[in-house]
C-alpha cells in the first residue's frame, strides 16, 4: 500500500505521513522548502518498517507540477492509492488591504493545487486499475475568518471540489472525502498569536484543549481504511467542538 502526503514536512502533513506508515503504508513525503525536516519525517517512517520517498515540489506551481509530484511518488514506491491533499498556506490579510497577488497565491496552492494533485493521483489509480482514496484538507475556516477571506474562499472551495470529485470518481472505485481541522497545535495559529494566547484559545474550546496533529491524522487513517469503504463526498469536522455545522 502506498500513500502520498503533500506538505508533509511539518504539522498535520507530517502527522498524517507517520500515522499512515504505522497503518502499513509506504509513504511519499512531499516537501517544499525544508529538506532536513522532510528527511526527519522519512526517518520516522522507516523506523516503523515502511519505505519512504522524498518528493520535492510546489503544488501551487500549476497542473504540471502537481502531476510531477504524483509521477515521482509512483516511480519511487508504486501507484499511490491514498492521497492526502494537505499542502496549504494561510497568510493573514485584512480584507480592505488584501492584494490581488495574495489572493492568487492562496488560491493557487490551496484550491488549484488540491484539485490538480487529486486529478493526477486519480488518473494514476485509474490507469493502474486500482481503487483508492483522496483526502482533502478543508478547515473550520469554512465559517469565515476576518483576516483570511482568500483562505476561507479556498477551504469552502475544497468542500465543493470534494463533493464533485466524489461523484466523478465513484465509478472508478475512488472515494473522496475532506477533513476540516479546527484549532490545531501547529505553526499556523501562532502567526499573530503568542503561545499563551494559542493555549487560551484551546482551553476555551468545549473539549478544553488544542487539537494535536495526531488528532487529524487519526481521521485520515480511518478515511483511508476499509472501515470507511462506504463513505465518500463527506466533510469531517475535527475541532474539539469549536464549530458545529
Candidates 68, 157, 142; CA nearest to 109 is 157
Q: All 3 cell numbers of residue 96?
A: 480592505
Q: Which helix (H) or strand (E) holds 118?
A: helix 113-128
Catalytic residue among 151, 191, 236, 243: 151
Answer yes or no: 243 catalytic. Answer: no
Question: DSSP 3-state assignment of 205?
Answer: coil
Rg, C-alpha atoms of the chain: 17
Q: Which phi and psi (to 5°) does residue 4 adopt?
A: -120, 125
Q: Which helix (H) or strand (E) holds 22?
A: helix 11-22
Tell me the angle at which helices 213-224 and 11-22 cross, rounded to the nearest 10 degrees.
50
List strand residue ranges (DSSP E) for the chain, in order: 2-5, 26-31, 52-56, 82-85, 132-137, 174-181, 235-238
| Catalytic positions, written as ranges | 151
Amino acid at each position: 500500500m502506498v500513500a502520498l502526503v503533500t506538505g508533509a514536512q511539518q504539522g498535520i502533513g507530517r502527522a498524517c505521513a507517520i500515522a499512515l506508515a504505522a497503518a502499513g503504508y509506504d509513504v511519499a513525503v512531499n516537501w517544499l522548502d525544508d529538506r532536513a525536516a522532510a528527511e526527519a519525517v522519512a526517518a520516522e517512517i522507516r523506523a516503523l518498517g515502511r519505505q519512504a520517498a522524498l518528493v520535492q515540489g510546489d503544488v501551487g506551481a500549476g497542473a504540471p507540477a502537481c502531476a510531477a509530484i504524483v509521477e515521482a511518488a509512483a516511480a519511487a514506491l508504486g501507484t499511490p492509492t491514498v492521497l492526502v491533499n494537505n499542502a496549504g498556506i494561510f497568510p493573514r490579510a485584512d480584507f480592505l488591504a488584501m492584494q490581488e497577488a495574495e489572493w492568487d497565491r492562496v488560491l493557487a496552492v490551496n484550491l488549484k493545487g488540491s484539485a490538480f494533485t487529486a486529478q493526477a493521483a486519480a488518473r494514476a489509480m485509474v490507469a493502474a486499475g486500482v481503487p483508492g482514496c483522496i483526502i482533502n484538507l478543508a478547515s473550520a475556516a469554512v465559517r469565515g475568518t476576518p483576516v483570511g477571506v482568500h483562505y476561507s474562499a479556498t477551504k469552502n472551495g475544497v468542500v465543493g471540489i470534494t463533493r464533485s470529485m466524489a461523484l466523478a470518481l465513484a465509478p472508478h472505485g475512488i472515494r473522496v472525502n475532506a477533513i476540516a481541522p479546527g484549532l490545531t497545535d501547529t505553526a499556523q495559529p501562532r502567526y499573530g498569536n503568542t503561545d499563551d494566547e494559542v493555549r487560551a484559545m484551546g482551553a476555551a474550546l468545549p473539549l478544553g484543549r488544542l487539537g494535536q496533529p495526531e488528532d487529524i491524522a487519526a481521521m485520515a487513517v480511518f478515511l483511508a481504511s476499509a472501515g470507511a469503504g462506504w463513505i465518500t463526498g463527506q466533510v469531517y469536522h475535527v475541532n474539539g467542538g469549536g464549530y458545529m455545522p
